[in-house]
Amino acid sequence: MSQIVDLGSAADARDVVHRAVQSLAEGQLVGLPTETGYVAAALVLNDEAMGRLSQLGQRLDRSRLVLAIKHPFESLDFVPQMGPLSRKLIRRFWPGPVTLQFDEPADAGLVEVLPAGVAGVLHGGSGLAMRLPAHEFTYNVLRLSTAPIAFTEEVGALSPIYASAADLARAAGPDLEFIVDAGAPRHEFPTSLVRVGSSGWDVLREGVASRRTLNRLAGEMYLFVCTGNTCRSPMAEGLFRKLLSDRLDCSEDELVDRGFMVVSAGVAAGPGSPSSPEAVEVLSERGVDISNHESQQVTPQLLSQADQIFTMTRGHRELLVREFPEIAPRVRLISRNGTDVIDPIGAGMKEYRRCADQIEKYVHEILAELPGAGS
């Protein structure tokens, strides 16, 4: 049976990380923890190790090998022809317990320059499967490795998930150099398996994320940004929610199930502050309740996940694009004519009403552009 290395008993977890990286580089197979179970792993650049991993996977009833990567957009190196839908899903689902199977061709991708045997094993006749595990130990192994790593799938048709290092050790026998025991997985179910094509996606296996959760995560996200996230952007978020739900003839709570997520944030926001009393009152006059709003800071993750980002001023947009140039195609001024939305803070109710008038006009214009949300 394979040796089990108890991560909790190690004097320094980094030593175990380095041992795993070194063993993989030397062509050994290693057992690694993920947030959803234990898997056998090999470095993809080693043809012989990948062959042994494939054989082990077959014996474990894990016919598929999964390519594990350390950053969402590393997937573009392997599927450079990835379409907008696939790019959106990797922003939303990773890192996390979702395996994506790409039907899109890997022409000119790194898979094509791998040894023929390795490329064949990774494709497996059903498309290239990839995941970005959220487990800290295994992420660090990926980060320090010279190449991506291939995993055995977590669950087979006949055998369940390996929920402990001991489970994997008993099943794998002596085929693994060692298995890193990081305790019980965070989740008791395997990763959800999603097939992605150029024109759509489908859930092949529900796991940690249910079909409904995946549908929600794959919806369109609209992000409104101002400075402190207490006046302008909460008003924009509230008005957008109300007007969109009116057009779709549904409640605001049902928007997520209809495929729409609406949020707001501030470039200099403190967390947890309420909307200003004036903003709450002005929107209440229009049938919109933002009394439960809590401010939040703009974060890289939030910007990565948003499909469309609307800023209140040109200055907000310039700041975001300067800090995160990759989002430039998805961020625009809320007004189509280039007009900044006035900042009403401290200026009294008259200015708040004028600000709300501006925002409502611009929100109507945005809604008119949205497919499937028109009258």
The strand ranges marked E within 50-165 are 65-68, 98-102, 128-131, 149-152
Report in angstroms the alpha-carbon separations of 174 from 25, 56, 189, 239.
19, 11, 26, 62
Question: Which of 91, 131, 195, 232 does the annotation list as catalytic?
Answer: 232
Tokens of 71: 């950053």
Beta bridge partners of 222: 262, 308
Residues in Cβ contact with 297 at an 8 Å cutoff, skipping those fewer than 6 apart: 229, 265, 266, 267, 268, 269, 270, 271
Residue 226 is among the residues annotated as catalytic for this protein: yes
Tokens of 76: 């573009």
Report in angstroms the alpha-carbon separations of 34 from 24, 38, 191.
17, 6, 10
Question: Which of 64, 92, 181, 226 does the annotation list as catalytic?
Answer: 226
Residue 250 is among the residues annotated as catalytic for this protein: no
Q: Is 20 helix (H, G, I), strand (E, B) or coil?
A: helix
Question: Which of 186, 250, 343, 353 does the annotation list as catalytic?
Answer: 343
Residue 332 is among the residues annotated as catalytic for this protein: no
Q: Name the nearest CA neighbour of 186 among 96, 99, 100.
A: 96
Please answer whether residues 185 and 160 qualify as being in contact, where contact means their C-beta atoms are separated by less than 8 angstroms: no
Tokens of 252: 């605001």
Q: Tell me which residues are annotated as active site.
A: 226, 232, 343
